């Protein structure tokens, strides 16, 4: 546990106040007077005074639970947030599990799961990008084989993906390529529109996000493919050695498989073993170690099976 968190824990200790009603205190003082040798006449005179009603009550012990320290006022958190350093922010909370616990318990008011600039943003069918035309401040080309022109991500996600692909190759799992990375609002409008033309709106919603609702627009999500002599389609990625390796090891590199089998009612999407989302190494480790299978559950958010309208 970090020093920061230890300080928080110390501040969370319970404060106990003992409230003694005035009449009881008075009686006790009279008895004390006797012990101290004050003339009994005087002491008994006082003791004979009509006891206030409160004297009949037993002393009460009032336990006051002081609210847990707000990590958001911690200097390290404030500094890391202001610098836009998401990894340092999570670290300042004490690590991924501590960050997640603070968010879920409502004790992290400075952390917005709506903020598209942050690696902890949650985008789903009930949580569009805000603003809906959001575009990342910078994008970096992914140095892997690509089967579309959508081959960029936010720089930290690109770097982590390249490291992951190298690790997969090293482990003998084969070559990983990229099908789609960042997609702008306009590209998503065209993608979704073509699905609607081919399948109708219901059919389109089953396979493609509406513009403004796609994780691809965050610059933190991408679709993988397996490449050997040539690259396959993303739909078969889950059945490849690369797909198995990614399912098991993506978390080590800061990624999660965003739409897992059995979680359609929570995520709103059929399983997509190819669709990977960057959340950073610390959060991905907490996600893995906590046994989570959807980002909604990880952050204690409501299920998002469908659009609101």
> Which residues of the chain form contacts with Zn ion (CB under 5 A)?
223, 275
Pull the structure tokens for residue 113.
Answer: 């799961």
Q: Is residue 183 within 8 Å of residue 152, measured between CB atoms?
A: no
- Beta strand pairing status for 152-153 and 140-141? antiparallel
Q: Which is nearer to Zn ion, 153 or 168 (CB)?
A: 153
Smallest distance, Zn ion to C-beta of residue 304, A:
16
Q: Which is nearer to Zn ion, 118 or 275 (CB)?
A: 275
Strand intervals (E) in the chain: 15-19, 60-64, 140-141, 152-153, 175-180, 221-227, 255-259, 272-278
Smallest distance, Zn ion to C-beta of residue 216, A:
6
* Angle (CA) 13 15 19, round 5°: 165
Smallest distance, Zn ion to C-beta of residue 85, A:
27
Q: Is residue 142 within 8 Å of residue 153, measured between CB atoms?
A: yes
Q: Which is nearer to Zn ion, 103 or 129 (CB)?
A: 129
Q: Which is nearer to Zn ion, 8 or 210 (CB)?
A: 210
Smallest distance, Zn ion to C-beta of residue 222, A:
7
Closest to 128 in 3D by CA, of 35, 180, 192, 77: 192
Q: Which is nearer to Zn ion, 205 or 223 (CB)?
A: 223
Pull the structure tokens for residue 68.
Answer: 């847990």
Smallest distance, Zn ion to C-beta of residue 307, A:
17
The CB density around residue 70, as the number of other CB atoms within 10 Å, is: 15
Which residue number has the CB closest to Zn ion? 275
Q: Is residue 98 within 8 Å of residue 241, measured between CB atoms?
A: no
């Amino acid at each position: 546990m970090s020093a920061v968190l230890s300080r928080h824990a110390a501040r969370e200790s319970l404060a106990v106040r003992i409230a003694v009603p005035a009449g009881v205190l008075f009686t006790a003082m009279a008895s004390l007077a006797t012990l101290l040798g004050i003339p009994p006449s005087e002491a008994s005179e006082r003791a004979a005074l009509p006891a206030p009603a409160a004297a009949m009550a037993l002393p009460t012990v009032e336990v006051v639970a002081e609210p847990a320290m707000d990590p958001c006022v911690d200097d390290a958190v404030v500094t890391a947030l202001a610098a836009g350093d998401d990894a340092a922010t999570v670290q300042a909370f004490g690590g991924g599990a501590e960050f997640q616990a603070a968010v879920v318990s409502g004790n992290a008011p400075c952390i917005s799961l709506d903020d598209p600039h942050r690696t902890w943003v949650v985008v789903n069918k009930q949580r569009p990008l805000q603003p809906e035309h959001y575009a990342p401040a910078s994008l970096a080309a992914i140095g892997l084989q690509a089967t579309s022109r959508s081959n960029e991500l936010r720089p930290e996600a690109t770097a982590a993906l390249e490291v992951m692909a190298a690790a997969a190759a090293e482990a003998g799992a084969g070559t990983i390529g990229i099908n789609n990375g960042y997609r702008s609002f306009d590209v998503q409008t065209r993608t979704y529109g073509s699905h609607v033309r081919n399948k109708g709106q219901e059919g389109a919603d089953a396979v493609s996000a509406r513009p403004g609702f796609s994780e691809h627009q965050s610059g933190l999500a991408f679709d993988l493919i397996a490449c050997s002599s040539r690259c396959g389609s993303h739909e078969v990625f889950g059945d490849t050695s690369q797909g198995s390796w990614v399912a098991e090891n993506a978390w080590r590199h800061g990624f999660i498989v965003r739409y897992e089998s059995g979680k359609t009612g929570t995520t709103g999407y059929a399983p997509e073993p190819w669709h990977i989302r960057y959340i950073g190494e610390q959060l991905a480790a907490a996600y893995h170690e906590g046994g989570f299978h959807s980002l909604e559950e990880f952050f204690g958010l409501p299920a998002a099976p469908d659009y609101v309208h």
